[in-house]
Amino acid sequence: MKRVKTGITGLDELIEGGFPEKRSMLVSGACGTGKTIFSMQYIYNGAMKYNEPGIYVTLDERPELIREDVTRFGWDLRK
The string of pLDDT tens digits covering residues 29-64 is: 999 999 989 999 999 999 999 888 888 888 888 989
Note whether residue 35 is domain-resident: yes
pLDDT at 60: 85
Number of domains the chain contains: 1
Domain range for 44: 3-72
Better pLDDT: 79 or 35:
35
Note whether residue 77 is domain-resident: no
Torsions phi, psi of 65, nearest 5? -70, -40
pLDDT at 76: 86
pLDDT at 55: 87
3-state class percentages of the chain: helix first, strand second, coil last, to nearest 5: 40, 5, 55
